Amino acid sequence: MTPVRVVRDDPAGLVVWLAPGTPRVVPLLPGGGDPRSLPLPELFRSPREATRVRWRGPGVLIHAPSGMPWSVWLFWSEAGEFSGWYVNLEEAHRRDADSTWTCDHELDVWIEPDGVAHLKDEIELAAAVDAGRFTTEEAEVLRSRAVDAQEAYAARHWAFDAEWTTWRPDPEWTVPSL
């Protein structure tokens, strides 16, 4: 659970601002440890606890294009320079009047400001397949979605529009609460 501020909400999709220091509830290991600290064979087999944390680092602008199996996260450095696009492969967002829901798919794409793209978390996807979280066929679909996301970037889908790289939050905005 992560509270955010709505920047844009229309038929094309939802754009939200995740402010620095925003309180969140995330699944961590019992006692608060990071699941990524586990050996890969245990990563998707270990118990989790809902734990309250705060978003660390600069804020992030998140686009959830309607009907697309990904969201696009725009990152900036502490100095305010655009760092790149993080394409989080996930279920298309489901919504009601107050909330959105999705489910992460492990594999992600990082796109540098110059457009060079890299797949992220391929090893974690393989571990998720080994643990039974995804089938081999589902993992292939996820890999094809990573290609689709890169093609959306190349076509300058609105979530990748260069205008967003210079967007800044209203300085009067406060950090939302849970």
Q: Extract the tokens encoding 120.
A: 């992220």
Q: What is the pLDDT of residues 41-84, one digit of tens each?
A: 899 999 999 999 999 989 999 999 999 999 999 999 999 999 99
Q: What is the pLDDT of residues 29-45, one digit of tens each?
A: 999 899 989 998 899 99
Which residue in 20, 27, 62 sits closest to 43, CA to CA? 27
Query: Does residue 171 lie in a domain region?
Result: no
Which residue in 31, 47, 3 sits closest to 174, CA to CA? 3
Query: Does residue 173 lie in a domain region?
Result: no
Give the chain's domain count. 1
Query: Does residue 86 lie in a domain region?
Result: yes
Max Cα-Cα span within the chain: 48
Query: Does residue 33 lie in a domain region?
Result: yes
Query: Does residue 139 lie in a domain region?
Result: yes
Which residue type does 22 have?
T
Query: Does residue 177 lie in a domain region?
Result: no
Query: Does residue 124 lie in a domain region?
Result: yes
pTM for the full model?
0.92
Which residue in 138, 160, 140 sits closest to 149, CA to CA? 160
Query: Does residue 175 lie in a domain region?
Result: no
Across residues 96-101, what is the average pLDDT?
A: 86
What pLDDT sits at residue 2?
94
Range of the domain at 21: 5-166
* CATH code for the domain in which residue 75 is found: 2.40.380.10
C-beta separation of 20 from 55 below 8 A = yes
What are the angstrom distances between the C-alpha of 160 and each of 14, 18, 142, 166, 176?
A: 14, 18, 20, 12, 26
What pLDDT sits at residue 97?
84
